[in-house]
Amino acid sequence: MPGRVSSHWKPQRTKVELKPAPRPSRIRRDPPPAEKPATLEKAMWRQSHEWEIALAIAGMILFALGIDAAVYLFAGMMTK
């Protein structure tokens, strides 16, 4: 049978009907929420010298805790 090719397409089958979405996408429909304005007091605190000092102290404490944890784990491995 030359010229005969097997095909997956079947013209007698009915098409699949898609149901409409219950509501449109929220990304396209809803506007982004309004940004809360920062109070002047908070804005001034974040730009202050005290804020930089507080962040530096917090960083030093976290660094010290990391070194402490590393030494504790190393000591635990050495004593076993």
Q: Is residue 2 part of a domain?
A: no
HSE of 68, CA atoms in CB hemisphere, 13 A: 6
In which domain, by residue range, is 57 found? 38-79
What does the pLDDT read at residue 49? 86
Distance (Å) of CA 11 to CA 2, 4, 17, 74? 22, 16, 16, 72
For residue 10, the one-letter residue type is K
Q: Is residue 23 part of a domain?
A: no
Q: Is residue 55 part of a domain?
A: yes
pLDDT level of residue 59 (50, 70, 90 thresholds): very high
Q: Is residue 58 part of a domain?
A: yes
What does the pLDDT read at residue 29? 64
Mind listing the pLDDT tens digit for each residue in 5-54?
A: 666 666 676 667 777 767 666 566 667 778 777 677 777 767 788 889 99
Q: Is residue 53 part of a domain?
A: yes
Q: What is the DSSP letter of 64?
A: H
Distance CA 68, CA 66 (A): 5
Is residue 3 pLDDT above 60, yes or no? no
How many domains does the chain fold into?
A: 1
Distance CA 56, CA 64 (A): 12
Q: Is residue 45 part of a domain?
A: yes
